[in-house]
């Protein structure tokens, strides 16, 4: 192949690379960029022998810079590229079963059906867990030590990962990937319709007050306990099943969720309909 033919082939490859950047997911894009770089290196090697290295090198650098810039831009957006915010329907704040009956029926279960929760049920669940019940004071359905409000409730669904925003009562997209299996080590978690992940953002706690990390972790664990109990009571009232789980590969899950260093996975909680509901 002559130098001109190799140069034309390189440009054709570049065009294909740009097309892949615009039309494929981030993993495939990375593969194409690697192929492009390898192809460019081979071309430079051959062109050195024909005295055209500098010209082709400059062209390859320009095209590579543009390609890498586009790659990073699309990769930054790829986490939630297919997800849109979900504005939850207004929660129902009346009704439900008497508290004493709910306490009697509260329990953990690990045998879930694959039936998805309705929009209304999901909205009620999240409001019961960590919704705002006193808007004028921005206070929640669960207590928070020193009112630090450092707990974030992430919602893993089949279509992706969301962050529950209590103020606007909506789900904000985080990652267009099914992370349910990563929220625990037990086999059943991958098929549960909803897995909640409780994340403590220690960066929000006691800013510039010199509070030890151990104290922050202690309070965060207590706050997650309050939220998870709200979920238990809601599920008992609504005929749902739930179990809070500590068997979580927290480091791996945090990486997949793209959490910051100040954020820490505390617990996960599965919610769904019982596979074999008790007969009344």
Residue 187 CB contacts under 8 Å (≥ 6 apart), including other chains: none
Is the confidence at residue 243, as pLDDT, over 50?
Answer: yes
Is the confidence at residue 216, as pLDDT, over 80?
Answer: yes
Please tell me whether residues 101 and 238 are part of one structural domain. Answer: yes
pLDDT given for residue 38 in this prediction: 44
Please tell me whether residues 46 and 100 are part of one structural domain. Answer: no
Would you state the structure tokens that stand for residue 149, as one six-digit string? 């409000």
Dihedral-angle region of residue 208 (phi above 0 means left; psi in -120 to 50 means alpha; beta otherwise): left
Please tell me whether residues 59 and 92 are part of one structural domain. Answer: no
pLDDT given for residue 52 in this prediction: 56
- Structural domain of residue 55, as residue ranges? 3-78
Lowest mean per-residue pLDDT among 74-78, 167-171, 177-181, 226-230: 74-78
Please tell me whether residues 266 and 156 are part of one structural domain. Answer: yes
Does the residue 277 lie in any domain? no
Does the residue 201 lie in any domain? yes
Is the confidence at residue 158, as pLDDT, over 90?
Answer: yes
Is the confidence at residue 231, as pLDDT, over 60?
Answer: yes
Percent of the chain with pLDDT over 70: 70
pLDDT given for residue 3 in this prediction: 56
Does the residue 131 lie in any domain? yes
User: Domain boundary at 78, 104, 129, which?
Assistant: 78
pLDDT given for residue 72 in this prediction: 43
Q: Taking residues 45-49, what's their average pLDDT?
A: 48
Please tell me whether residues 190 and 110 are part of one structural domain. Answer: yes
pLDDT given for residue 210 in this prediction: 86
Please tell me whether residues 60 and 143 are part of one structural domain. Answer: no
Please tell me whether residues 95 and 74 are part of one structural domain. Answer: no
Please tell me whether residues 29 and 58 are part of one structural domain. Answer: yes
Please tell me whether residues 114 and 194 are part of one structural domain. Answer: yes
pLDDT given for residue 171 in this prediction: 98
Alpha carbon distance 33, 14 (integer Å):
9
Q: Are 106 and 239 in contact (CB under 8 A)?
A: no
Does the residue 193 lie in any domain? yes
CATH code of the domain containing 256: 3.40.109.10
Please tell me whether residues 121 and 67 are part of one structural domain. Answer: no
The mean pLDDT of the chain is 83
Please tell me whether residues 170 and 250 are part of one structural domain. Answer: yes
Alpha carbon distance 21, 30 (integer Å):
9
Alpha carbon distance 190, 185 (integer Å):
9
Using one digit for the tens of pLDDT, what is the confidence trace for 50-106?
Answer: 555 555 545 554 545 444 444 444 544 555 567 899 999 999 999 999 999 999 999
* CA dist 189 → 16, 125, 195, 196, 244 (Å): 40, 18, 7, 11, 11
Q: Indicate the burial class of 62 (C-beta count within 10 angstroms; 0-12, 13-18, 19 or more).
A: exposed
Tally of structural domains, the chain: 2
Alpha carbon distance 24, 27 (integer Å):
8
């Amino acid at each position: 192949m002559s130098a001109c033919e190799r140069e034309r082939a390189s440009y054709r490859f570049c065009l294909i690379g740009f097309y892949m950047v615009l039309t494929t997911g981030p993993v495939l894009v990375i593969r194409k960029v690697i192929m492009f770089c390898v192809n460019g290196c081979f071309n430079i090697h051959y062109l050195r022998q024909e005295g055209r290295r500098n010209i082709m090198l400059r062209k390859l650098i320009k095209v590579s810079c543009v390609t890498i810039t586009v790659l990073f831009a699309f990769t930054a957006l790829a986490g939630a590229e297919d997800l849109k915010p979900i504005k939850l329907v207004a929660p129902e704040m009346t009704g439900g079963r008497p508290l004493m009956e709910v306490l009697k029926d509260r329990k953990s279960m690990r045998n879930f059906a694959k039936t998805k929760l309705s929009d209304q049920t999901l909205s009620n669940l999240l409001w019961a867990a960590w919704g705002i019940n006193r808007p004028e004071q921005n206070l929640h359905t669960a207590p928070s030590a020193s009112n630090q409000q450092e707990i974030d409730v992430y919602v893993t669904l089949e279509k992706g990962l969301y962050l529950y925003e209590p103020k606007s009562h909506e789900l904000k997209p985080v990652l267009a990937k099914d992370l349910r299996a990563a929220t625990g080590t037990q086999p059943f978690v991958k098929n549960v319709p909803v897995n909640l992940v409780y994340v403590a953002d220690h960066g929000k706690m006691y800013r510039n007050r010199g509070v030890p990390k151990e104290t922050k972790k202690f309070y965060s664990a207590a706050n997650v306990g309050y939220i998870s109990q709200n979920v238990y009571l809601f599920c008992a009232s609504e005929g749902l099943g739930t179990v809070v789980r500590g068997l979580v590969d927290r480091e791996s899950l945090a990486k997949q969720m793209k959490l910051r260093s100040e954020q820490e996975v505390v617990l996960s909680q599965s919610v769904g309909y019982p596979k074999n509901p008790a007969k009344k």
